[in-house]
Structure 1
Amino acid sequence: MSLTDALHWRYAAKRLNGEQVPEETLERIMDAARLAPSSFGLHPWSLVHVRSPELRARLHETAAPQPQVLECSDLLVFAVHDRDFKAQVDDHVAHMARTREVDESSLDGFRNMIKAVMDQKGTHEACLEWAARQAYIGMGVALSAAALEKVDASPMEGFYPETLDEALGLRDKGLKSVVIMALGYRDTERDQGAGRAKVRRAGEDFVVRLP
C-alpha cells in the first residue's frame, strides 16, 4: 500500500474497539516518530507511551475525557523538554560528536549558531512554542506510519495538559505535554465517521502553483 493510499484510508476514529496493537507494529510507529525531522536535529521533545488501562482510565476521568483514551490500545503523549534550551543544545552537540566520531570542538560553530537562534526567540516560553511545532512534525510522521500499518490514530488537543502532566509525573521528568494520540482499531458500528467520504479541498484549490 502506498502512503497516498494509506492516507486515503485513515481518518480520526472517534470510537475504538479495544483490540491490542501488536508490539512490533507499535514499535515501528514509535520509531517512525523518533526518526522524524526537527530543526537542527535537536529533537526537543519526547514520546510518552501509556498502555495501562487503569492509568488511561484515570486520565480519562481527570484530564482527557474522550472515549478513545479508554478504548485505545495505546496512548502516545508528545511532550516537549521543559528545561534550559542552551543546555539541550550542548547535549545534542555532544551526542552528535559521539555518534559521528568527531571532536566536539569541531562542532562549535554549529553549537553557537543554534544558541544564537535561541537568543533570538527571547524567552523560554517562545522556545517551548518552537519545540511544540517540532513535536507536531513528529506527530504527523507517526500518523502516517500508523496509517501504513493499518492502525487507527486519533490525535487530540482537547485535554487538560497540566492535569495530564501531573497524573503522569511529567513535570518531574522535565516534560510538558502538547498533544496526545490514541492508537487502536476503529469500531465501525459505533463510530459515525466510519466509511464516510474524506472531505478535502481539490488539488487545484489546495496547491498554489507559481510560474
Structure 2
Amino acid sequence: MSIIKQLKWRYATKKFDATKTLSKEKLNTLKEAFNLTAVSFGLQTLKMVVIEDKIVRERLIEVAYGQRQVVDASHLLVLCIQTEIDGNDVNDHFDTIKAIRNTPDAILNPFKEELKSTVEDMPADKKLIWATKQAYIALGNLMTVCAVEGIDSCPMEGFIPKALDEKLELEKHGLSSVLLLPVGYRADDDMFADFKKVRQPISKTVIEL
C-alpha cells in the first residue's frame, strides 16, 4: 500500500457511517500509535480518552457546535494534556527507562536531575503550551496511521474544551482536552469524499537549499 496514495485518499470526514464500527484490532493499532508518538524528552504528558458509548457522545454534541461526527463516528478520541507537569513525571519516566533498559543509576541520574530542573523551573503557562504542542504531534501521527489503515478521521479544534472537560469530568484525572479526533468509516453519501484534494504544487511549499 502506497502511503502517498493513502494520504491522498484521506480527508477530514464530514459524515461518518454510523452503522460501521472499528474492529478491536484497528482500535488497538490506534492506541499503540498514540503511545508510540514522538514526544519531547520522551515525557508522555499526554493522555488519549477513547469514547465508544454513543450516549456519552450525544452529550458532547452541544459543546462541539453540533458537529455530528462526534457521535456518528465509530469512536471519539479525545487528546488531553496533564494540567500539572512536575518532577514526578520525570521520575516516572526514568524509572521506566531503568525497568526496560536496565540502565544504571550512575548513567541516568545526571540526565534525570537536569531534566527535572528544566521542568520545575518552567513557568506553568509555558508547560501547558509545551504539552499542547505534543498533542498536535500525536494528532498528526494518528491521522497518518488512520490513512494507512484505511480508517477515516476528522481532526477537530472546533469545540469548547472547558465545557467538554466538565462533561467528561477530566479534572478528576488531572487532564484538560486539547483536540478531538472522531474515527471510523465515511458515509457513502458524504460528498466531500469525492472532492479532489487541493494543495499547492511541491515547488511552492518545499524549499531546497
With the shorter chain as reference, the TM-score category is: over 0.9
Give the corresponding residue for 1:36: 37
1:46 partner amino acid: K
- SS of structure 1 residue aligned to 2:154: strand
2:82 partner amino acid: H
Once the two structures are overlaid, the 10-residue window that deviates more, 52-61 or 92-101, is 92-101
* CA 63–102 in structure 1, closer or farther in 2 if over 3 Å, else same: same
State yes or no: 1:201 paired with 2:208: no
Matches within 5 A, 1:142-153: 142-153=142-153
Give the drift of 1:64: 5.2
- SS of structure 1 residue aligned to 2:178: strand
Matches within 5 A, 1:28-107: 28-63=29-64, 65-107=66-108
Give the drift of 1:99: 1.4
8 Å contact from structure 1 (residues 93, 104) kept in 2? no
- C-alpha distance in 2 between matches for 1:63 and 1:17: 19
Instruction: After superposition, give the CA deviation of every residue in 1:165-197 in whole Å (9 maximum; x if it has no partner).
Output: 1111211101111101000111131x2312101
1:202 partner amino acid: P
8 Å contact from structure 2 (residues 75, 184) kept in 1? yes
Give the drift of 1:83: 1.6
Once the two structures are overlaid, the 10-residue window that deviates more, 78-87 or 141-150, is 78-87
Where do 5+ consecutive residues of structure 1 fail to align?
A: none
- C-alpha distance in 2 between matches for 1:104 and 1:196: 56
- SS of structure 1 residue aligned to 2:4: helix
* CA 84–74 in structure 1, closer or farther in 2 if over 3 Å, else same: same
TM-score, structure 2 as length reference: 0.94
- SS of structure 1 residue aligned to 2:153: strand
- C-alpha distance in 2 between matches for 1:175 and 1:84: 11
Once the two structures are overlaid, the 10-residue window that deviates more, 167-176 or 60-69, is 60-69
Give the corresponding residue for 2:9: 9
- C-alpha distance in 2 between matches for 1:188 and 1:125: 44
RMSD (CA atoms):
1.5
TM-score, structure 1 as length reference: 0.93
Give the corresponding residue for 2:114: 113
Identical counterparts, % of pairs: 35
- C-alpha distance in 2 between matches for 1:124 and 1:64: 29
- C-alpha distance in 2 between matches for 1:172 and 1:106: 36
- C-alpha distance in 1 between matches for 2:100 and 2:13: 39
- SS of structure 2 residue aligned to 1:155: coil
Where do 5+ consecutive residues of structure 2 fail to align?
A: none
Once the two structures are overlaid, the 10-residue window that deviates more, 106-115 or 52-61, is 106-115
- C-alpha distance in 2 between matches for 1:140 and 1:73: 19
Give the drift of 1:119: 5.1
Give the drift of 1:105: 4.6
- C-alpha distance in 2 between matches for 1:177 and 1:123: 20
- C-alpha distance in 2 between matches for 1:9 and 1:62: 29
- SS of structure 1 residue aligned to 2:8: helix
1:106 partner amino acid: I
